[in-house]
Amino acid sequence: MENQMMYRTLKSAAGPLALGGLALATMSFPALAQEAAEAAPEFASASETAFIFNTLLFLMGGFLVMWMAAGFAMLEAGMVRTKNVSMQLLKNIALYSIAGIMYWVVGYSLMYVDVSSYIGTFAPYSWPAAGTANEGDYSVASDWFFQMVFVATAASIVSGTLAERIKLWPFLIFVVVLTGFIYPIAGSWKWGAGWLDAMGFQDFAGSTLVHSVGGWAALAGALLLGARSGKFASDGKVTPIPGSNMALATLGTFILWLGWFGFNGASQLAMGSNADASDISRIFANTNLAAAAGVVAALILTQILYKKVDITFVLNGALAGLVSITAEPLTPSPFMAIVIGAVGGVIVVLTVPLLDKLKIDDVVGAIPVHLIAGIWGTLAVPLTNSDASFSVQIVGIVAYGVFTFAVSFVVWMILKSTMGLRVSAEDEMNGLDVAEVGVEAYPEFMPMHGR
């Protein structure tokens, strides 16, 4: 017992004795204390830590959005017929590459550098030399990369709508104009602190700036290009042209769904604080809820209307839910995220037949998904964001629609008059893999040219 009491006494005194000894040593040997301080590791300042995490957010978000290019490629490959699969794959890797080059040559500067109210600077963009510390809150190269993959997304939207009958090179020339000029100029109005930003227009991650812009460009092209052969009979009857591979289309949808977390989450543009990390988590959750709601809404509505579930509507319901929440993924409650996404799913189911009545042939349903759902998502922002107003949102929607559609229509008209947009009837029948690419995705099926 005496030994235990002595042990406890010594144990309780150990802390004060140690601190006293450390203080005495520090007072007695200041040189040793100074050396210890100098030998301590240097920790990054709070601002430098925020810079690192913000830059990492842009890079990882850009990586996820870049992966969406694969999603668009797989979705389109599954939604077209076997004779046109290679063409869609080629268009998607080509448009992504063109977008990257054009956004460096002129696009980024037009969108962000010395923007007046309506346009930036015509010049290639450059970032600091290797080893140079950046000023600001993030690396400028990471911002360029993150913004570049967005412009590629807008071009991918056009690709799907015009599938199975457009020539390769006129399409790629249009991509040059869209990614180098149309999208960046339009983007400068909001994200480049232009006139719409000054008015208070709200579009968090691009329901209008990215998706509706791509949808307007696609609509202009579809009107001038016309429908695929056999799609619409002379009496107005619609002939369904099913896709070749629903497995690929489903895979593409899941890839897009995954990439959307980078699309919306990284649009927070900061990850250097507790609040930023919490907001990004909220954005991820709302994004997922909206996509799921779009699926369920399309699932139920197709069963009610057609007595069977249509998987193409369900896949597009997911995408429409994602597009709808993109304008404001941060402020909605979970319930409102579900409502916004569900309306997107309903939009797809109701507007695809409307396009058929208007004889507008949209192969993958990109116009309902990206244009119409994008408009809805932009209009829905004031429902949860008190900084937005319906009147300003309408001004932004109309401005982007008029500008993008008008300029795109003129460009498509010029291409149609000079190079021609549409392949010949024979090439369309044989398939664009043979006519335009020279490599069949499914060579064992190619003798059946009408398939």
Rounded average pLDDT over 98-116: 96
Task: Average the pLDDT over each of 62-76, 124-138, 202-216, 386-400 and give the range with the smallest value.
Answer: 124-138
Contact 402, 353 (CB under 8 A): no
* Residue 25 scores a pLDDT above 70: no
Give the three-class secondary structure for 129.
coil
pLDDT tens by residue, 293-304: 999 999 999 999
pTM: 0.88
* Residue 15 scores a pLDDT above 60: no
Q: What is the DSSP string of 50-109?
A: HHHHHHHHHHHHHHHHHHHHHHHHHHHHHHS-GGGHHHHHHHHHHHHHHHHHHIIIIIHH
For the chain, which residues make up each domain, given as ranges? 50-128+136-445
- Percent of the chain predicted with pLDDT > 70: 88
Give the three-class secondary structure for 327.
coil
Q: Tell me what pLDDT residue 235 has.
A: 83
Residue 260: both structure tokens together: 């959307």
Q: Tell me what pLDDT residue 44 has.
A: 55
In the DSSP assignment, the letter for residue 180 is I
Give bridge partners of residue 232 from the DSSP assignment.
238
Look up tokens 């619409």; give the residue.
232
CA nearest to 236, candidates 355, 350, 352, 357 = 357
pLDDT tens by residue, 118-134: 999 998 988 888 878 77
CA nearest to 200, candidates 381, 404, 405 = 381
Q: Tell me what pLDDT residue 23 has.
A: 40
**Side-chain half-sphere exposure of 168, counting CA atoms within 13 A:** 19
pLDDT tens by residue, 150-182: 999 999 999 999 999 999 999 999 999 999 999
Spatial separation of the C-alpha atoms in residues 11 and 115, rounded to whole Å: 69
Contact 120, 112 (CB under 8 A): yes
Query: Would you mind telling me the total number of residues written for the chain in this entry?
Result: 451
Give first-to-last CA distance, the chain, whole Å.
95
| 386-404 burial code (b ≥16 CB/10 A, e <16) | eebbeebbebbbebbbebb
Spatial separation of the C-alpha atoms in residues 251 and 318, rounded to whole Å: 12
**Side-chain half-sphere exposure of 124, counting CA atoms within 13 A:** 5
Residue 194: both structure tokens together: 């232009």
Write down the CATH superfamily of domain 50-128+136-445. Answer: Ammonium transporter AmtB like domains (1.10.3430.10)
Look up tokens 């949102």; give the residue.
393
Secondary structure tally for the chain: helices H, strands E: 19, 0
Q: Tell me what pLDDT residue 446 has.
A: 59
